[in-house]
Amino acid sequence: MILGKFERETPSWQSRLISPACVSKVIDVQGMVLASIYDQSDKCFDEGSLPSMIETNPPASVAIAPTKDVVRLEDVSVWYNKFQALDRISLRLPTGATGLVGRNGAGKSTLLRLLLGLIRASNGTGEVLGVPLERAGSVLRHAVGYMPENDAFLPGMKAIEQVTLAGELCSLSHREAIRRSHEVLSYTGLGEARYRNVEGFSTGMKQRLKLAIALVHDPDLLLLDEPTVGLDPPGRQRMLDLIADLVRSHGKSLVISTHLLADIQYTCDYVVMIEHGRIMTAGTLDEVVGSEASRFRIQWEGEGNSFIERLRADGIEVTPKTAGLDGTRINKDGEAIVKLPEFADTRTIFQAAFESGVRLRMIDPELEELGELYHRLLDRETQHVR
């Protein structure tokens, strides 16, 4: 009987909303897209006249069809006046979890806004959940949940009211929005705090509340912007477990925008790296980190300086292992990561060892760490821009 009690004792969100002269502007300024769901972002209502429910169903003119790829972009560019935020990107994101990696200003936020249907591509074509970008609007946003990086809560409201409001703005009836709010708040571990004002929430609780808001209308695709930002290790692990469970147990597809590569490796099967509005690389984690088939870890016994010089003379990139806090290199009885040029194979390493008088103890294929790959590609992209 909790639902009935809540409905009797809690006034509708319209009467509790402070100065709701234009709810779309209030929420969108904070970074949320809830009130733009019904595609009337420039329409303001007089105080007290906001509808309790927006559109009972998405428009029938465009149906969301099942598709293998949740996102397809072909040669898409986005310009802000004279600044190019996205530069002719072509991208396909499969179902499941995708990590979006890039520095501030790399184009991640623009890409998320494009996928939400909040901005239009300057050129190129694309689809999200089978819906063409140029026809996205409210249809797309009924099927997408968004968790912004920054807090975007309306003051003076309890957690259950925040989530219920989001559900109603996503076309749920008041009763259905309340029912779903209780479900998602319990799922995110906020069941006991549902009647508390959000202002008293910790950072971790606020992050989980934003996830509950993104989930309330049961979207097919979730866009999560820095979901673990500001969290302590236990809170971060709890959030990552929730994200992984959404994919594994509930079949959700999601895009996680983050600068924490460890989060990507824990939750995602697919990764996209972006810089200066261009895609540096995209693929499954195995494809991306295994793309350098010519990398090997080697160990040897004997004087290593001449061995390393010989390898480099053959065009082989050598990164000796670093020992100690002083950064000194181990060149005797040492270890290194080597990258062979296209024209060479492992026989070049054996020949260099023989001529240098060292004995090889180990030569194993080396998979590049995700962080190493990102920084290597970033250096290459920076040199290209210069």
**316 & 231 share domain:** no
- Please say whether the beta carbons of 53 and 66 come within 8 A: no
Residue 156: which region, alpha, beta or left (left: phi > 0; alpha: psi -120 to 50)? left
Structural domain ending residue among the three candidates 288, 321, 341: 288
- Domain span including residue 253: 2-60+114-119+126-288
Co-location of 304 and 346 in the same domain: yes
What is the average per-residue pLDDT within 14-20? Answer: 37
More confident residue, 381 or 178: 178
pLDDT at 168: 94
DSSP letter, residue 273: E
What secondary structure does DSSP assign to 71-101, as a single string?
Answer: EEEEEEEEEETTEEEEEEEEEEEESSEEEEE
CATH code, domain with 335: 3.30.70
Q: Distance (Å, rounded) from C-alpha 146 to C-alpha 223?
A: 5
Q: Is the same domain home to 203 and 268? A: yes
Query: Locate tokens 């998405």: which residue?
Result: 58
Instruction: Note the pLDDT of residue 68.
Output: 77
Q: Say if residue 168 is in the same domain as residue 279.
A: yes
User: Cα–Cα distances in Å, from 367 out to 289, 360, 364, 373, 374?
Assistant: 6, 20, 10, 10, 13
What DSSP string runs through 136-170? -HHHHHHSEEEE-SS--PPTT-BHHHHHHHHHHHT
| Same domain assignment for residues 217 and 339 | no
Calculate mean pLDDT across residues 50-75. 55
pLDDT band for position 364 (cuts 50, 70, 90): confident
276 and 297, same domain (yes or no): no
For the chain, the C-alpha Rg in angstroms (whole number) is 26
Mean pLDDT of 281-302: 80
Residue 311, pLDDT > 50, answer: yes
Judgement on whether residues 283 and 300 belong to the same structural domain of the protein: no
Calculate helix-pair angle for 159-169, 174-187, nearest 10 degrees: 130
Q: What is the pLDDT of residue 341?
A: 85
What is the spatial distance between Cα 234 and Cα 42, in angstroms, rounded to a whole number?
41
Question: Are 10 and 135 members of one domain?
Answer: yes
From residue 347, give the alpha-carbon distance in Å to each of 40, 174, 354: 67, 71, 11
CB 330 within 8 A of CB 307: no
Average of per-residue pLDDT across 8-21: 38
DSSP-derived letter for residue 38 is: T
Let me know whether 181 and 321 are in one domain: no
Reply yes or no on whether the pLDDT at 327 is more than 70: no
Residue 250 domain-assigned (yes or no): yes
Q: Which residue is associated with the tokens 């053959």?
A: 314
| Contact (Cβ atoms closer than 8 angstroms) between residue 36 and residue 113 | no
pLDDT at 2: 34
Q: 224 and 307 share a domain?
A: no
At 198 the pLDDT is 95
Query: What confidence tier does 25 reach under pLDDT thresholds 50, 70, 90?
Result: very low
pLDDT in tens, 264-291: 889 999 999 998 899 988 988 877 776 5
Is the alpha carbon torsion for 58, 62, 64, 69 positive or negative? negative
- Residue 119's contacts (CB-CB under 8 Å, 6 or more residues apart) are 78, 110, 113
Residue 234 domain flag: yes
Does residue 233 sit in the same domain as residue 304?
no
CB 272 within 8 A of CB 377: no
Lowest pLDDT segment from 54-68, 225-239, 256-270, 315-329? 54-68
Q: How many domains does the chain have?
A: 2
Give me the half-sphere count of Cα atoms (radius 13 Å) on the Cβ side of residue 72.
10
**Structure token pair of residue 361:** 């103890």
Element (H, E) at 362: strand 359-365
**How large a percentage of the chain has pLDDT more than 70?**
74
Buried b (16+ CB within 10 A) or exposed e, 336-357: bbbbbeeebeeebbeebbeebe
Place of tokens 């971060």: 236
Of the candidates 38, 59, 31, the residue with the CA atom closest to the CA atom of residue 229: 31
User: Within a domain: residue 108?
Assistant: no
Highest-confidence range of 14-18, 67-71, 275-279, 294-298, by mean pLDDT? Answer: 275-279
Per-residue pLDDT tens for 338-356? 888 877 888 899 999 999 9
Q: What is the pLDDT of residue 55?
A: 35
Q: What is the pLDDT of the chain when averaged over all its residues?
A: 78
pLDDT band at 152 (very low <50, low <70, confident <90, very high): confident
Residue 89 lies in a domain: no
Backbone φ and ψ for 219, nearest 5 degrees, come out as -75, 160
Domain identity same for 217 and 274: yes
CATH at residue 44 = 3.40.50.300
